[in-house]
Structure 1
Amino acid sequence: MWRNYVTVAINALAKNRVYSVINLLGLAIGMAACLLILAFIRYETSFDRWLPDAENTYQFQTYFPNPRDGPPAFLQMASYVAEERLKKDFPQVESTVYVLSGSPTIVKDGKVATTEDYLIADGDLLSVINLPLLRGSKTALNAPDNAVLTHSEAIRQFGTDDVVGRTISLIQKGKTYDYRINAVLADLPKDSHLKINGVFRRDFTSYFAQEPEFLTCWGCQSGWIYAKLKPGTDPDTLNAQLPAWEKRNIPDENFGGTRYNTGDDADWKFVNVRDVHLGKAQAATMSPGNDRGTIATFAIIALLILSMAVVNFTNLATARAGKRAREVALRKVLGATRKQLIAQFVGESLLVALIAVVIALALSELLIRPFAAFLDADLTFDYVGSGGMLLPAIALVIIVGLLGGLYPAFFLSRFQPASVLKANKSSAETPGSGRLRSVLVVGQFAISIALIICTAVVYGQTVYARSVDPGYKRDHILQVDNLSRYQLIGRGEQLAERMKRIPGVVAVGRTDIGVATMNNSNSGVLVPGRTEPVTLGRYRVDAGFKDAMGLKVVAGRWFDPARPMDDQSTSFPETPAEIRALVARGSNVVVNEYAARKLGARNPQDVIGKTVRLGMGADYGEMPITIVGVVKDSRFRSVREPLDPIMFLGTREGTTHMVIRYDGDPATVRAGVERVWNQAVSDVPFEAKFSEAIVEDLYEAEERRAQIFAGFAILAVVIACLGLFGLAAFTAERRTKEIGIRKVLGARTLDIVRLLVWQFSRPVLVANLIAWPIAWWVMRDWLNGFDTRMALTPLPFLVAGGVALGIAVATIAGHAFKVARANPIKALRYE
């Protein structure tokens, strides 16, 4: 019996090639999309699960969910002092380590070069995080001045990975340190939140001797704390004890006569390393993370595309019911039961799904590498094992086969032999109004239109983010890094003067907050009449910064080098006497419009001359600062992040970046800047980037998301149009006699085409009414994640509806025209 079913199914597929190709192609595309997205989801949820003993390895994170002032923040970083207190207060913590990430200068053969992703650890990282070793032992970091390199970094620096026992020299904080390499790590896979090329152990007490506040500051989140918990420890129990822990350890400070405690605004949490990548804290990370919402969105879209393919299968199966009505009737006359017929048709559906999944697997094999390269992910496509695709493929066959075949099976098996086989009964005149088919087609195009709208909005927001006025002149800027190196202390002003003499350079400024820098520094400001401090961004700039960035002064003035009160420069390291003298003297500052509003000014001019007090720490109290100027609000970061209320402090030294405004050929100017840098600075590598490239990188994620949506939208439209083409073909075939009669009665070809096109255009128009409100709701919530966003106008909705309608008309117009031109004699000759 089953052999007969298979033979009948194969014959049915062979006889109806158009039907078979449409079904197989649609199902294969939908299944391939599901399999590729499944590979991506598995990759995103696999982060750090490969680490041995990952279940006991945790990152200690800092949260600011309800700050007194400013937006919430969730950081993966923590303060250095927190590590010491964790070891002291929690016996469940077996070991801890504090790591800083940086790009120290490496000295090799008398030359210097910049490194990246080097971790500086205060302890034995390998005893906390069980990283895989290729050479050496697990005790490689058991003492200061020891180091480990990854395999690739060893090859890059020495040309071989046989480097155990060799010495590598780094310039850190202006000094040259020699490290003995004791081990070689395997290169970490991409599915890790850790980004490591090398780990170097230092004694932090001596390392930060010139900056002792780093060792005791609870509000300074500069690195990451990792902790290994003893087996069997419940992290939830530890997290529940952290509020009491912070009260015991964080001292109160007196700020303007008011008690202030850093712990009042902060929370801490142990987070397992396997949950870091998709966790709540996505600020201050080693490498960009992701969020579960994005993963869920991908999964939903893949399922929607697959459902569209299943809908095609169902629609075409019911549409061609007339073709198989006589077969069903004859089988029933010969004794077939309804259960047997249902089994036959479901079996046919499973066979189609099986063939489709084989094609889908082939497509997935071909597409997995470009898909992985596009996502910059280590996606694999294996058939067996924990991440194998064989079981998901089998599940797809069963699910798709049943979903696509059950309704047609019940629909076809209910035909009554008498009504089908009676005299003069056309095989095309079978039961069914086609309402279900219309509803499913509407659903298909609603999904397609919604995806087109999402694509248009995401792309539009990306373009808007790049083009919106940031409050400064963002073009023609060359931003130079490495200005914060200790080797350049006291030489920044001299270097800036030399840069100004380069042909094409218009202005040079130094700053802590350039174009999309990662620097983030905030301080509390006491305003007369208020009990709570106002949090403002606190960034150092020199007098040339305004012209270099193209800032616009809207009230008061900018810094003047001739006025001592405009300068807060101190020697390095700062001495307590210098700081006390500065606090006693006071200083002038410039703020942006947002900061002026937060300080209580209705308009910028109202804040000019106003004196407030800036917190300088528990040992020094508050420094009086007078606001002498207000500049236009400037967005130095991504439009996703809230606008910063900024307070600029004038200085001649101590900044991290140099901003160079130029006019003329960018490559020529950059070459000139690099030449002057190398002449003036021999022990710090030159690193610079144009502002246009920085902004390009800043919105790369949004652009990639737009491309992904576009790809999904194209797949959805292709599948919907395949189904529409098949339905149009079968409907036209069923209406051949009607069309012949219309032509005999005088209908023109254009009239027939218009009739058929209108029949299949109505579902698309109805689909717009469903897709528009859903897409509006989804995109409104997505746009609300941006601090500055484009207006959600009707344009993308109208364009998406028009595109879908145009594609639908183009899909069926050619076929309709062919049918309408047919000779009516051929349709009516048997009547």
Structure 2
Amino acid sequence: MWRNYLTVGVRALAKNKVYAFINIFGLAIGIAACLMILLYVRYESSYDDWLPDNDRVFQFQSYYQSLTSSDKFDNQGVPYVTKGALLKDFPQIEAATYVGGGVGITVLKDGQAYTPEDAQLVDSRFLDVVALPMLHGNDRALANPGSAILSEKQAIRFFGTTNAVGRTLTTIIMGVKADYRVTGVFKDLPKNTHMAFGMLLRADMPSLYAQGHNEAFLESWGWTAGWVYVKLKPGVDVATVNSQFDAWKKRNIPDSTTNGQRSNEGDGRTYALVNVRDVHLGKAQNSDMTPGNDRTSIVTFSVIAVLILAMACMNFTNLATARAGQRAREVALRKVLGATRKQLIMQFLGESILLTAIATLVALALAEIAVPWFAHFLDADIALHYFGHGGLLLPILALVLLVGAAGGLYPGLYLSRFQPARVLKANKSASEAEGSGRLRGILVVVQFAVSIGLMACTAIVYGQTLYARSADPGFKRDGLLQVNGIGATSLQGREEALIQQIRKVPGVTAAARTGIGVNTGNTSSTVVGVPGQPEPVQIGIYAIDADYFPTMQIRTVAGRIFDRNRPADDATEPAVPDPEAARAMGARGANIVLNESGVRRLGYTSPQDAVGKIIDYDRGDEGGIMKLTIIGVVTDSRFRSVRTPIEPIMFFVNTNNTNWLDVRYDGNPAEVRAGVERVWRSFAPDVPFKAEFSDAIMARTYQRIDARAQMFGMFALLAVVIGCLGLFGLAAFTAERRTKEIGIRKVLGAGTFDIVRLLVWQFTRPVVIANLIAWPIAWWAMRDWLNQFDARMPLGPTPFLLAGLLALLIAVVTIAAHAVRVARTNPIKALRYE
């Protein structure tokens, strides 16, 4: 019996080559696209699965919500002091470690200075918490200060071999030169990890920060520049631990007084332990190590995968019911010869599974070709494996059965219910059975609603991407080179001479120091007292020099900007903390410039109203209350991506608290950069030259958004192709079924245009209905998506109208060839058997 079913199924496919091609190719595209998306979703969901005991390893995160404004900031990092407080109060913690420190690590090799992006300071318990896969050395490799472990890549880079144990690294950290002995080498970490570690240095933190005159960092609850990881003891419920952090912060974070008001660094802050496997898709996405992702994107692509596969199954159902007339007599004869309905259903399900299996083989071939490109496009370790851990053989077999059943169940039920007497009567056709046409119409509407919705969403995503790139940032972005490291200790006292020489480089027109760069990721805020307001107000605070605004070409809207010739404009303090100088500066006061958001944050009615006002800035016990005079207001500038709201900022001049140098140029970018680098190396050979053009920084910022937009568009296009394949097949079968009707119409006087219009309208009507369904759903989805951006394109009707018109055009073109061919057929051929 099964052999007979197989023979009949193969013959049915061979007899109807167009039907077989459309179904196999459509299913293959759908299954291949579904596999690609699911590989991506699985990759994004498998971050840090490689880490041993990952169910017990957590990152300690802090979330801030301002009590006086809508500002919020979800941070993967926490202050250094939190690690000791956690160990003191939570015996459930087996081990804890601190990573980072907010300092640049410079490595000297062969007279050249390098700053590895993946180098971090750690303490002695790091390997007890994060068990890196060691290639050389063991888990005690970081037990002693002055030791270091490297990844394979970094070991080869610095020593030419992975067996670098016993070698020495010469480093400069906060101006302190020290040697670190390599005690271990670990395997390169996979790309699906949020931890970008390539060089880990075991430092004596108190001693190192004391030498760098930065001891306050180790005790501050408001200074975040690193990460804390903890490993819980077996069986500990993390939810129970997280529920105790409100009481924990009250016990540990001391109160302070700001402008006569009680304040606390814990106000507005909540803390939580987040499992390492959830960090990548968690709500805190500000990591300096690797960019994260959001769960909404993963869910969106999962839904697209299901929709594409469902559309392929709809094609099968549509074409199977459309072909009912060709199989009706076969079904009737089988029933007459004793076949039960169950046997007929199994036959059609078997044919569907056979077709799906063939399509799956084609899909796997397509996927094998596309996966390497896909992985390169996403810069991800995505691969198609059939066996072993993560093998897809069993899921693929399950997918064949599921898709085969989904595509063949209704046709099997539908075809098996034909009554032999009705079918075998002369001039009767079961292809006109009630219900089949209605179902096909519904499925076509659904297919095109999905296609139109995806096209509209793609247009909006692409439009927002263009808008993000072209939106006015409030400063001149092109012709700007950003240099990192001007605040290096070895440059102290020589910065001005360096800048003067850089200004002489051909093509350079201006240069200025700043503490807020283009998308550097750093944030700095404080609270100030505003006369007439009962509560302190939080505002960003960044140091610049007097030439910053002209260099960036930031426009002044009220008052004036800083002037080098006015001593009161300069609030620079000694590089080494000096309590006496701090008190003198506090007594003298300082001038500041606000941006427009800062004016609104402080409660002034207009930029002009803010000029001349005085606010109070509490600098603590050493500096006391400092009077800040607002001398001017500048336009808002967007230094970060369009997802991040523009920060209310007050700028002040302090050349000892800047780390970036912005160089404005007018000429050949490569030549300017090379000229600046030559000057830099002549002044500071031990400080790596790290410079990047502003437009390149923003391109990198939006790189992942662009990649997701392109992925979205690519899979939306595949959905349209699958929908068109189904429509093509339906048009072909419908035209064939209505050949005699069309012949009669032509005999009675209908012209070619009348026939074409008849067939085109039959298939474009579902597309019109699909528009009415797709538009509101796509609008609702895109409205929520656009709300993630602080600056966003207007959500007008254009993308929806264009998507609808494009779908209508595609439908008309798809069926026009059939319509014209049938309309031009000689009616004699259609009526010759009548």
Which TM-score applies when normalising by structure 2? 0.98
Aligned partner of 2:135 in structure 1 is 134
Matched, 1:302 2:299: no
1:424 positional shift: 3.0
**Do the aligned partners of 1:35 and 1:389 also contact (CA within 8 Å) in 2?**
no
Per the TM alignment, residue 65 of structure 1 is displaced from its structure 2 partner at its CA by 3.9
Question: In the alignment, does 2:722 pair up with 1:706?
Answer: no
Match of 2:178 in 1: 177
CA distance in structure 2 between the partners assigned to 1:538 and 1:257 by the alignment: 20
Report matched runs for 1:86-101 at 5 Å: 86-100=86-100
The aligned residue for residue 504 of structure 2 is: 501
State the partner residue of 1:23.
Answer: 23
Confirm whether residue 248 of structure 1 aligns to residue 251 of structure 2.
yes
User: How many Å separate the matches in 1 of 2:292 and 2:735?
Assistant: 52
Question: How big is each residue's C-alpha offset from its partner over 1:218-255, in whole Å with a ceiling of 9 and x where there is no partner?
Answer: 01111001112222222222112221111111111011
Whichever residue aligns with residue 692 of structure 1, its letter is: D
Contact 1:164/1:181 (8 A) holds in 2 = yes
- Letter of the 2:419 counterpart: Q
Contact 1:42 1:387 in 2 (8 A): no
1:408 aligned residue: 411
1:47-196 matches, cutoff 5 A: 47-65=47-65, 67-100=67-100, 103-196=104-197
In structure 1, what is the equivalent of residue 360 of structure 2? 357
Worse-matched range after superposition: 369-378 or 17-26? 369-378
Tell me if the contact between 1:490 and 1:653 (Cα under 8 Å) persists in the aligned partners: no
Residue 809 of structure 1: aligned partner: 812
Alignment equivalent of 1:629, drawn from 618, 622, 632: 632
150-159 or 487-496, which moves further after superposition?
Answer: 487-496
Q: For 1:738 and 1:723, how far apart are their aligned partners in 2? A: 23
How many angstroms apart in 2 are the aligned matches of 1:82 and 1:113?
31
> Are the structure 2 counterparts of residues 642 and 153 from structure 1 closer, same or farther at C-alpha, using a change threshold of 3 Å?
same
Spell out the pairing of 1:104-503 with structure 2 (5 A cutoff).
Answer: 104-209=105-210, 210-426=213-429, 429-432=432-435, 434-503=437-506
Mapped contact 2:105–2:120 kept (Cα < 8 A)? no
Q: Distance in 2 between matches of 1:689 and 1:792?
A: 34
- AA aligned to 1:740 is G
The answer to whether the Cα contact below 8 Å between 1:102 and 1:117 also exists between their aligned partners in 2 is no
Contact 2:322 2:431 in 1 (8 A): no
Q: Distance in 2 between matches of 1:461 and 1:427?
A: 51
Cα offset for 1:314?
Answer: 0.2
**C-alpha separation in 1, matches of 2:416 and 2:293:** 49
Distance 1:12 1:618 in 2: 89
Q: Which amino acid aligns with 2:90?
A: F
Instruction: Give me the TM-score of the superposition, normalised by structure 1.
Output: 0.98
- Within-5 A mapping of 1:506-525: 506-525=509-528
For residues 489 and 73 of structure 1, the distance between their equivalents in structure 2, rounded to whole angstroms, comes to 33
Aligned CA distance change for structure 1 residues 423 and 122 (closer, same or farther; 3 Å): closer
Q: Which moved more, 1:47-56 or 1:162-171?
A: 47-56
Superposed, 1:644-793 pairs within 5 Å as 644-793=647-796
Q: Which residue of 2 is the match for residue 5 of structure 1?
A: 5
Shift of 1:667: 2.0
Measured in 1, the distance between the counterparts of 2:345 and 2:287 equals 59
Secondary structure of 1:648 counterpart? strand
Give the AA of the match of 1:562: N
Cα pair 1:583 1:620 within 8 Å, conserved: yes
Q: Distance in 2 between matches of 1:789 and 1:362?
A: 40
Structure 2 SS opposite 1:264? coil
Contact kept? 2:328, 2:415, Cα under 8 Å = yes
1:183 positional shift: 0.5
Question: Which secondary structure state, in structure 1, belongs to the residue aligned with residue 677 of structure 2?
Answer: helix
- Alignment partners' CA distance in 2, 1:610 and 1:746: 88
Structure 1 residues 428 and 92: alpha-carbon distance in aligned structure 2, compared to 1, 3 A threshold = closer
> How much does 1:665 deviate?
2.0
Task: Give 1:180 deviation, angstroms.
Answer: 0.4
Task: Look up the match of 1:554.
Answer: 557
**CA distances 1:549-584 after superposition (whole Å, capped 9, x unpaired):** 001111111111121211111112111111111111
Equivalent-residue separation in structure 1 for 2:627 and 2:477 (angstroms): 33
Distance 1:580 1:695 in 2: 40
Relative distance call for 1:102 and 1:5 in structure 2 (3 A) is farther
Is the CA contact 1:420–1:430 (under 8 Å) kept in the aligned structure 2?
Answer: no
C-alpha displacement of 1:426: 5.0
- Residue-pair matches, total: 831
Shift of 1:276: 1.3
1:48-100 deviation per Cα after TM superposition (whole angstroms, max 9, x unaligned): 12111212211111111454334221111000111111112222222211111
Q: Is the contact made by 1:133 and 1:183 (CA closer than 8 Å) also made in structure 2?
A: yes
Q: CA deviation at 1:750?
A: 2.2
Q: Deviations over 1:471-508 (max 9, x none)?
A: 11122111111212211222222211112222221211
What code does the residue aligned with 2:406 have?
A: L
- Assess if the C-alpha contact under 8 Å between 1:190 and 1:378 holds in 2: yes
CA distance in 1, matches of 2:219, 2:631: 34
CA contact (8 A) 2:99 2:122 kept: yes
Gaps of 5+ in 1: none
- Cα drift, residue 103 of structure 1: 4.7
- Residue in 2 that maps onto 1:545: 548
- Counterpart residue identity of residue 143, structure 2: N
Residue range with higher mean Cα deviation, 101-110 or 580-589: 101-110
Preserved CA contact (<8 Å) 1:54 1:274: yes
Deviations 1:394-425 (A, max 9, x none): 11112111111111111111111111111233
CA distance in 2 between partners of 1:67 and 1:55 (Å): 34
- AA at the equivalent of 1:331: R
Aligned partner of 2:761: which letter?
W
Q: 1:118 to 1:102 in 2, by over 3 A?
A: farther
Determine helix, strand or coil for the equivalent of 2:620.
coil
Cα distance in 2, alignment partners of residues 604 and 431 from structure 1: 73
Deviation at 1:102, TM superposition (A): 5.6
Give the aligned residue type for 1:776.
W
- Cα-to-partner distance string for 1:15-45 (whole Å, 9 max, x where unaligned): 0110011111111111112222222222112
Q: Please tell me the residue identity of whatever aligns with 2:731.
A: A
Q: Is the 8 A contact 1:64 1:74 kept in 2?
A: yes
- Offset at residue 755 of structure 1 (A): 1.6
> Partners in 1 of 2:30 and 2:65 — Cα distance?
41
Q: Distance in 2 between matches of 1:253 and 1:806?
A: 68
- How far off is 1:266 after superposition? 1.1
CA contact (8 A) 2:136 2:186 kept: yes
5 Å-filtered alignment, 1:529-608, equals 529-608=532-611
Offset of residue 123 of structure 1: 2.6
Q: Deviations over 1:344-394 (max 9, x none)?
A: 111111111111122222222221111111111111211123411112111
Structure 2 residues not aligned, in runs of 5+: none
Distance in 2, Cα, partners of 1:253 & 1:590: 27
Q: Give the whole-Å Cα distance in 2 for the aligned partners of 1:594 and 1:737.
A: 73
Q: What displacement does 1:432 show? A: 4.1
> Counterpart of 2:244 in 1: which secondary structure?
helix
Q: Is the 1:132–1:185 contact (alpha carbons within 8 Å) kept by the matching residues of 2? A: yes
* Contact 2:531/2:615 (<8 A) preserved: yes
Q: Distance in 1 between matches of 2:574 and 2:103?
A: 24
Q: Which amino acid aligns with 1:46?
A: S
Residues 695-730 of structure 1: CA deviation (Å, up to 9, x unaligned): 111211221121011101110010000000000000
Q: Is the 8 A contact 1:372 1:378 kept in 2?
A: yes
Residue pair 2:37, 2:305 contacting (<8 A) in 1 also: yes
Distance 2:97 2:313 in 1: 53
